Amino acid sequence: MTEPKSNILKKIYLFSGLQDNDLETLARIALRRDFPRETTIFWEGKEAQGFYILLSGRVKLVKSSFDGKEYILRLVAPGETMGEAAVLAESTYPVSAVALEDCQTLFFPKADFLNLLTASPRLARNMLATMSHLLYHLTRQLEDLSLKEVSARLAKYLLERCRESHGQVARGLSFDLPVTKTHLAAYLGTISETLSRTLARFKALGLIQVDKGRITIQEPELLEKIVKGTKI
């Protein structure tokens, strides 16, 4: 990571609109931490020592049941934060964070960050906005898991990834799945076999093309109808 930390922080939603002096202060307290693939970055139930910004790679935030089943609550992409809610609450991490790929992060120690948060109203407002965004995401995810069938959850996920990759959804646009089918199934609240059958069904219906981990959208309007509960 050769780019100055302050330049990196300017691009992060959480720090948008901050003055250069605030960014420089943040850059001074930020610590570079890299994690190899499959490393646990922090553990559920452990006291939060700070939070992270993911610079590269992909991370899953997971909860584990008593019988060992894993539930993926969120897939963290570069530019996103993780662990900040526990820092604000001065509590334990509510989930575990596991690197799905080799990851580069910036770590913000709790005490230093909370001191800066007290001194910067703009940063406090940004943190509140970030917390609201995460709450909205988790609420929508719970709604989807409770009310939508697997086909609707998958259709929604594919459309969101297409929009994330291209800024729009249109026929013929392609993108790579950022995670394995096993991880995607856990995120969608299903099992790998059901996910594979649903992908195969979408392909047979001409809604998508599948080339290993690369998806091409063929019928975006029909995928939107599936998201809304229409049977195809």
Sign of CA dihedral 152, 155, 161, 162: negative
Give the chain's residues under pLDDT 50. Answer: none
Kindly list the structural domains of the chain, giving each domain's residue range(s) and its CATH number in brackets, ordered by start. 5-146 (2.60.120.10), 148-227 (1.10.10.10)
Q: What is the pLDDT of residue 144?
A: 73
> Could you report the per-residue pLDDT of 59-70, keeping only the tens digit for each?
999 998 777 778
Question: Taking the model in full, what pTM does it have?
Answer: 0.76
Selection from 228, 187, 9 nearest residue 98 by Cα: 187
> pLDDT value at position 131?
75
CA 59 – CA 97 distance, rounded (Å): 6
**The pLDDT value given to residue 15:** 83
Tell me if residue 42 falls in helix, strand or coil. strand
pLDDT of residue 150: 93
Residue 82: what pLDDT? Answer: 94
